[in-house]
Chain A
């Protein structure tokens, strides 16, 4: 008899080959991430075909490392969880097929996981989730406010209408000739600058929880361009600080408003942009005076990893969610249909 629930999870939706083992839904036994970022840097962004090739090179190496690190064997594993989508289809397929082969080889249940559910459930690895809760998901491909009334239930109450926050960071960084991925560079510059430039904030309709960052991105590009034409230079630090303030203002304000309207117990931050120092500080400042508890996972759980997929997978497993051998990678997988 297996005493503990042990989920082995695989995540390959973008440019990280990741495998984790999580015990009883919350205890990380191993969380191995092989990042391809050094390889994609030369292209200025993730190249899907190159990402898929790296995943095939890495997948068994990372699985082995995770099992060794956890000090367990496949006999200890209860179920195999895998990111079904969204993401790059060719990249997803490596994780999905590895998971299917692994589950088949050992006669284990196969549990499909939504990548964004994973980002949200990263929080379960550090704190108990209290419902109803609101998650602010800010990553390279997503910017959304997700309302959860219970485990496994996701309602997207707002989302970006154009660029994701991370995408806007990366595009602005490119304008400043910063290396890919630009988010962390802007964040670092912003620490040394002052928000002296007047940049727009897209509040959209008064009651909307949606976001829009493409106007802001264009305003940044125009500001740099116009200054150059006048022969002036803008301090990159100030530009970064102004841009960052504009993004953070909207994110924090809408999150606080939604938290109040939906009367949630907890607010969770999720996704790679959660690494942003300015965003963390602003959320902490805002919620220190509010009744909702704020949770922000440590950095290694905010960027793509498989421990978060295992955390979401554990709940899905307990709810009886299973995939059959026909499981496919679904690049546009819907969160609300989970």
Chain B
């Protein structure tokens, strides 16, 4: 199966082209630059390098968030459109699950995270269970302090991954001490080839119904709902 994987959900932009088990092309940048301008040229260039036509793809895979609302919509829109118009399968993978793969051989738990402002995190917990590396605590938007409390009770070593760790490392160490382990630079960039690997195995999504996992409502919607309850 030939697949194109696209991740524009956070600062790291990644594209991969795989042919079955084989990763034949992968492109990653970690830049504060506009994904909307850069991602389509990157897809074009990588596919050209692979000498592959869009119609040859069997599946389009996208990171579905959480992350930047605008960012995730760019990848999701491109993936939905390509899958729909070429009549190919579409699959979506949690952006946190993709990042967690960088710690899949760690013996404890793996905690991928993206900063969600106001000391909140987009995060989840992953580890080996039932012979499979998978989510052990589902993805969520959570206050950092609450999350660290929860992790502390697990009494197991936890590997933290993500480029936003600079903002949270101090608090994590204060709360978890030796229980916390940190990846190094290369571990913090989610790899599009991992996105592709997971995406290939997923059940295809319904293209028309597929939407990003924002993990929270739009702010106006939250306020409106609060107003309704009064």
Residues of A within 8 A of B (CB): 42-43, 47, 49-50, 52-53, 56-57, 59-61, 63-64, 74, 89-90, 93-94, 96-98, 100-102, 104-106, 324-329
The interface residues of chain A lying within 8 Å CB-to-CB of B74 are 93, 97
From known contacts A49-B219, A57-B211, A96-B36, infer whether A104 and B77 are also in contact, taking CB-CB under 8 Å.
no
Q: Tell whether, in the assembled complex, residue A59 and residue B80 are in contact, meaning their CB atoms are under 8 Å apart.
A: yes
Bound-state Cα–Cα, A52 to B219, Å: 13
CB distance from B204 to the nearest CB of A (A): 14
- Tell me if B208 counts as interface (CB < 8 A to partner A): yes
Q: Which residues in window 41-84 of B have CB below 8 A to A? A: 41, 43-44, 54-55, 69-70, 73-74, 76-82, 84
List, sorted by A's number, 9 A–B pairs whose CB atoms are closer than 8 Å. A47-B218, A90-B73, A93-B73, A97-B73, A97-B81, A98-B77, A101-B40, A104-B43, A325-B44
The interface residues of chain B lying within 8 Å CB-to-CB of A56 are 73, 76-77, 80, 211-212
Contact of B85 among A94, A106, A324 (CB under 8 A): A106
Query: When each residue 77-116 of chain B gets 1 if its CB lies under 8 Å from chain A and 0 otherwise, what string results?
Result: 1111110111000000000000000000000000000000
- Tell me if B145 counts as interface (CB < 8 A to partner A): no
Q: Tell whether, in the assembled complex, residue A61 and residue B208 are in contact, meaning their CB atoms are under 8 Å apart.
A: yes
Q: Tell whether, in the assembled complex, residue A324 and residue B41 are in contact, meaning their CB atoms are under 8 Å apart.
A: yes
- Tell me if B31 counts as interface (CB < 8 A to partner A): no
Contact of B218 among A50, A64, A326 (CB under 8 A): A50
Closest to A103 in B: B40
Bound-state Cα–Cα, A89 to B208, Å: 23
The interface residues of chain B lying within 8 Å CB-to-CB of A43 are 220, 224
- Tell me if B34 counts as interface (CB < 8 A to partner A): yes
Bound-state Cα–Cα, A100 to B43, Å: 11
Bound-state Cα–Cα, A96 to B70, Å: 13
Closest to A52 in B: B73
Minimum-distance CB pairs A-B, first 8: A101-B81, A325-B40, A49-B218, A47-B220, A60-B84, A101-B78, A325-B41, A97-B77
Bound-state Cα–Cα, A42 to B224, Å: 8
- Tell me if B156 counts as interface (CB < 8 A to partner A): no
CB distance from A128 to the nearest CB of B (A): 34
Closest to B228 in A: A42
CB distance from B37 to the nearest CB of A (A): 5
| 9 extra A-B contacts, CB within 8 A, seeds A53-B211, A56-B80, A329-B36 | A60-B80, A63-B81, A64-B208, A93-B36, A94-B73, A98-B80, A105-B54, A326-B37, A327-B40
From known contacts A97-B40, A104-B54, infer whether A59 and B81 are also in contact, taking CB-CB under 8 Å.
yes
Q: Tell whether, in the assembled complex, residue B221 and residue A50 are in contact, meaning their CB atoms are under 8 Å apart.
A: yes
Q: Tell whether, in the assembled complex, residue B219 and residue A98 are in contact, meaning their CB atoms are under 8 Å apart.
A: no
The interface residues of chain A lying within 8 Å CB-to-CB of B79 are 101
Bound-state Cα–Cα, A57 to B80, Å: 10
Closest to B220 in A: A47
Q: With contacts defined as CB atoms under 8 Å apart, how many contacts are there between chain A and chain B in the complex?
A: 104
The interface residues of chain A lying within 8 Å CB-to-CB of B212 are 56
The interface residues of chain B lying within 8 Å CB-to-CB of A90 are 69-70, 73
Bound-state Cα–Cα, A246 to B80, Å: 48
CB distance from B14 to the nearest CB of A (A): 16
Closest to B75 in A: A97
CB distance from A137 to the nearest CB of B (A): 27
The interface residues of chain B lying within 8 Å CB-to-CB of A325 are 40-41, 43-44
- Tell me if B22 counts as interface (CB < 8 A to partner A): no
Q: Tell whether, in the assembled complex, residue B73 and residue A328 are in contact, meaning their CB atoms are under 8 Å apart.
A: no
Q: Tell whether, in the assembled complex, residue A100 and residue B73 are in contact, meaning their CB atoms are under 8 Å apart.
A: no
- Tell me if B207 counts as interface (CB < 8 A to partner A): yes
Bound-state Cα–Cα, A94 to B75, Å: 10
The interface residues of chain B lying within 8 Å CB-to-CB of A47 are 218, 220-221
- Tell me if B137 counts as interface (CB < 8 A to partner A): no
- Tell me if B170 counts as interface (CB < 8 A to partner A): no
CB distance from A233 to the nearest CB of B (A): 29
CB distance from A300 to the nearest CB of B (A): 24
Bound-state Cα–Cα, A327 to B24, Å: 27
The interface residues of chain B lying within 8 Å CB-to-CB of A64 are 84, 208
CB distance from A69 to the nearest CB of B (A): 16
Bound-state Cα–Cα, A312 to B183, Å: 52
Q: Which residues in window 182-227 of B have CB below 8 A to A? A: 207-208, 211-212, 214, 218-221, 224
Closest to B54 in A: A105
Q: Tell whether, in the assembled complex, residue A93 and residue B70 are in contact, meaning their CB atoms are under 8 Å apart.
A: yes
Which interface residue of B82, B85, B218 has the most chain A CB atoms within 10 A?
B85
The interface residues of chain A lying within 8 Å CB-to-CB of B78 are 97-98, 100-101
CB distance from B225 to the nearest CB of A (A): 10
Closest to B85 in A: A105
Q: Tell whether, in the assembled complex, residue A101 and residue B73 are in contact, meaning their CB atoms are under 8 Å apart.
A: no
Q: Tell whether, in the assembled complex, residue B220 and residue A49 are in contact, meaning their CB atoms are under 8 Å apart.
A: yes
